[in-house]
Amino acid sequence: MSQWMIYGATGYTGTLVAEEAVRRGHKPLLAGRSAAKLRPLAERLGLEYAAVGLEDTHALEKAVGTVELVYHAAGPFIHTSAPMLKACLAAGAHYLDITGEVPVYQHAFSLDAAAREKGIAIIPGVGFDVIPSDSLIKYVADQLPDATHLDVAVDALALSEGADAGLSAGTVKSMIELLPTIGTLQRRNGQLVSQPMGAGLRKVRFPRGTKTVMPATWGDVEMGYHTAGIPNMNVYLSLPPAIMYTARVLSPLLNLLKINPVRKFASRMVERMLPGPSEHTRETGRSAVYASVRNAKGETREAWLETLEGYQFTMVAGVRVVEKVLDGSYKGALSPANAFGADFVMSIEGTTRWDTLPE
């Protein structure tokens, strides 16, 4: 019998994690809603599978009850996380996911007491969004415990020659679901505030050069608050210049995505057009993070990190996190950095961290 389950195993990312798990000697149960999609994957990897829909509460709890841990990879998580969290709490199985969606983090953290009582861990965001940035936030925040302001900038763009589309359909579909309703979230005096898209562009020095970045909703704006409790936070993403410089003008168009049929049509288009990054892009791409904190006296600390391309990172780190949780005694709702520490990210091959960048 399998010790853990990958739910959403047939998706772009779930399949990568399943393949990595097998390479590391695991035999996870592959799960999802479609037997027709699960069967060929299970046969190829020599694993067992379980087809169960998230709306079938009884069958889901029964399937989850056969494992110690669920690695949830089926998104958009705004639609999939709550039923799986409920099943994990009922069955007493640890819950991990790879969401970067702020409302999903908020719901997961609201279940902290229930998870402690049940003796399970709930650790959302164990992918590229947010392990590297969450770890770097903890790294700089631990050096300045009275910090009042935090800036974090993520450069997730593949930096390789001949790189193809850097995003999977699932990632873009998750953005389509959330962006129109939550907009650009930043944190002021402990509260989340929405600001106009495309405002506040700035330049940030990354290990491979300086880039323009744009304030954007990224999981850290919520997760970083659980990790470091710093009341003011700016979260930036490096995006293609064509997006950043037109975002202000084009952002009203996002309102169209609030209309159900338009959103569904856009999601279908995305499914057809985005197969996800190729193996070449994943293996040669890189991503980078910058974080800085300052306190009321004006003292600062900053650091940089470079690591694997985002989906490669999610694949590699995902299985390491599963191993840690199965071997450990984690309880309650935790951020990745508070669960595994600021240095866990350094155990992922290809990761380098700097306190000062060489000139």
Ligand X SMILES: NC(=O)c1ccc[n+]([C@@H]2O[C@H](COP(=O)([O-])OP(=O)(O)OC[C@H]3O[C@@H](n4cnc5c(N)ncnc54)[C@H](OP(=O)(O)O)[C@@H]3O)[C@@H](O)[C@H]2O)c1
Contacting residues toward ligand X, per CB under 6 A: 8, 10-14, 32-34, 37, 54, 73-77, 79-80, 98, 100, 127-129, 168-171, 174, 276, 310-311, 314
Q: How far is the CB of 253 from ligand X (least distance, A)?
A: 21
Radius of gyration of the chain (CA): 20
Strand 300-308 versus strand 286-295 pairing type: antiparallel
- Whether the Cβ atoms of residue 218 and residue 235 lie closer than 8 Å to each other: yes
Closer residue to ligand X, CB minimum distance, 124 or 198:
124
Looking at beta carbons only, is 276 or 285 nearer to ligand X? Answer: 276
- Nearest approach in angstroms of CB 109 to ligand X is 17
Q: Which helix (H) or strand (E) holds 110?
A: helix 102-110
Nearest CB to ligand X, comparing residues 99 and 294: 99
Beta carbon nearer to ligand X, 82 or 201:
82
| Shortest CB 230 distance to ligand X, Å | 22
Q: Nearer to ligand X by C-beta: 198 or 276?
A: 276
Tell me the closest approach of the beta carbon of residue 125 to ligand X, in angstroms. 6
Q: Give me the least distance between CB of 73 and ligand X, in Å please.
A: 6
Q: 86 CB contacts (<8 Å, ≥6 apart)?
A: 57
**Residue 85 Cβ, how far from ligand X at the closest point, in Å?**
14
Whether 47 and 22 have beta carbons less than 8 Å apart is answered as yes
CA distances from 88 to 53, 244, 335 (A): 15, 40, 18
3-class secondary structure, 50: strand
Phi, psi (5° rounding) for residue 141?
-65, -35
Using the minimum distance from each CB to ligand X, give the nearer residue, 33 or 280: 33
Whole-angstrom distance, CA of residue 231 vs CA of residue 149: 7
